[in-house]
Amino acid sequence: MTPARFSDCLARLGVDIDDIVKNLECDPALIQTWINAERRIPLAISAWLETSVRRGRLTNPPRFWNRGGYSHRVS
């Protein structure tokens, strides 16, 4: 998922970064690294957002994903 698609999904769902932070129980700075293309958006998060868009509402977030995101650094 690209940062642009990530932002598009949030817009389509009518949610903001704070909503994502609450749902994923993560640091807001991590979300910013995704938006700024400093880190790759994890596949589990991409799938969650795409599923949510298809359903027209934010669904339950993935149970297991790398909250630190450190394995997804863009080089």
What's the domain count of the chain? Answer: 1
Q: Which residues is 35 bridged to in the sheet?
A: none
Q: pLDDT at position 67, please? A: 59
- Residue 13 domain-assigned (yes or no): yes
Full-model pTM: 0.84
In the predicted structure, residue 32 carries a pLDDT above the cut 70: yes
What pLDDT, on the 0 to 100 scale, is given for residue 14? Answer: 97
Q: What is the pLDDT of residue 75?
A: 44
Mean pLDDT in residue range 12-18? 97
64 in any annotated domain: no
Q: Does some domain include residue 34?
A: yes
What crossing angle do the helices spanning 28-35 and 3-13 adopt, rounded to 10°? 120
Query: Quick check: is 23 in a domain?
Result: yes
Considering the domain boundaries, does residue 47 fall inside one? yes
Question: Does some domain include residue 27?
Answer: yes
What does the pLDDT read at residue 63?
A: 82
Assign residue 5 a region (left: φ > 0; alpha: ψ between -120 and 50; beta: otherwise). alpha
Q: How far apart are CA 27 and CA 12, in angstroms?
A: 23
Domain assignment present for residue 10? The answer is yes
* Contact by Cβ (8 Å): 24, 6: no
pLDDT at 70 exceeding the cut of 50: no
Q: Is residue 73 part of a domain?
A: no
Q: Which domain holds residue 49?
A: 3-58
Give the tokens for residue 57.
Answer: 């509402």
